């Protein structure tokens, strides 16, 4: 205690000596890698957040854990998750990637909390459903923005003045428009035909590449869902990068 120190060691317990000793110990702890702390950076470098600011002993520990998990297979056989792979990116930090999501699909970040993709055949169908919903959503957003742009410029006629969420109601109430039942029936028929063709293509890739009516219209690739509508010919470039961008924007 301070009283005993001042009684038995008066020369060592002056305020200046204590302050010097504490400062020396603090500096040693901050500088010693084994304490898990990095040396304090200067004022100029401390402004930036740098990835290499992680202490070496922490990096070594992470690498050791990763190598251990890879060797023992902990994660692939325990809990039904993938072995540790530093090249795979999870959809959220700290979440393991399910074993049935092996990264072969574009945009696979291991998100399947309900385990719906454990059946490989169903997983193929879910991927096509996600792709079509993503494309439909992006086209819908484009239509909303395009309509608002025309309405803001004062062009486009009465249709551009209708809010997008009232478009269906305005269409049905417009004189001479088909009834709601007619619209539903036509949509079920047309969408059902497209979905049946898509399912046939999943069962036998390439079987739906030829237009059943206009046989001159053909697709040369056998990959289901691609290239899709591509009037500008973007699919001739970096297709892998375009696939990833498409599914990310669609989500």
Dihedrals phi, psi of 98, to nearest 5 degrees: -60, 150
Neighbours of 202 (CB within 10 A): 17
Measured distance CA(236)–CA(247) in Å, rounded: 18
**Global pTM?**
0.57
Check pLDDT > 70 for residue 54: no
pLDDT computed for residue 35 by the predictor:
45
3-state SS assignment for residue 210: strand
- Residue 209 carries which DSSP code? -
Out of 33-47, 143-157, 184-198, 218-232, which region has the weakest mean confidence (pLDDT)? 33-47
Provide DSSP, 32-93: -GGGT-PPPPPTTGGGS--GGGS-HHHHHHHHHHHHHHHHHTTTTSSSSBPPP-TT---SST
Out of 16-25, 73-82, 181-190, 242-251, which region has the weakest mean confidence (pLDDT)? 16-25
Q: Do 96 and 80 meet the contact criterion of CB atoms below 8 Å apart?
A: no
pLDDT computed for residue 133 by the predictor:
93
Check pLDDT > 90 for residue 248: yes
Start-end of H helices in 76-179: 120-153, 167-173
pLDDT tens column, 159-170? 788 888 888 888
Neighbours of 245 (CB within 10 A): 13
- Using alpha carbons only, what angle is made at residue 249 by residues 243 and 251, rounded to the nearest 5 degrees? 100
């Amino acid at each position: 205690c301070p009283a005993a120190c001042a009684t038995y060691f008066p020369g060592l317990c002056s305020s200046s000596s204590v302050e010097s000793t504490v400062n020396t110990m603090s500096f040693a702890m901050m500088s010693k890698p084994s304490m898990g702390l990095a040396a304090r950076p200067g004022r100029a470098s401390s402004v930036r957040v740098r990835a290499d600011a992680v202490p070496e002993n922490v990096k070594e520990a992470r690498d050791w854990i990763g190598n251990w998990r890879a060797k023992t297979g902990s994660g692939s056989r325990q809990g039904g998750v993938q072995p540790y792979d530093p090249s795979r990116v999870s959809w959220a930090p700290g979440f393991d990637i399910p074993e049935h999501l092996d990264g072969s699909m574009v945009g696979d970040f291991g998100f399947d909390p309900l385990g719906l993709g454990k059946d490989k055949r169903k997983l193929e169908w879910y991927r096509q459903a996600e792709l079509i919903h993503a494309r439909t959503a992006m086209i819908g957003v484009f239509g909303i923005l395009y309509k608002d742009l025309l309405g803001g410029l004062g062009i486009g006629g009465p249709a551009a003045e209708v809010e997008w969420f009232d478009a269906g109601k305005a269409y049905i109430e417009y004189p001479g428009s088909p009834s709601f039942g007619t619209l539903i029936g036509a949509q079920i028929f047309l969408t059902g035909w497209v979905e049946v063709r898509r399912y046939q293509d999943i069962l036998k890739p390439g079987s739906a590449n030829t237009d059943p009516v206009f046989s001159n219209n053909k697709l040369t690739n056998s990959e289901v869902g691609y290239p899709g509508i591509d009037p500008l010919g973007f699919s001739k470039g970096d297709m892998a990068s375009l696939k990833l961008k498409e599914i990310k924007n669609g989500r």
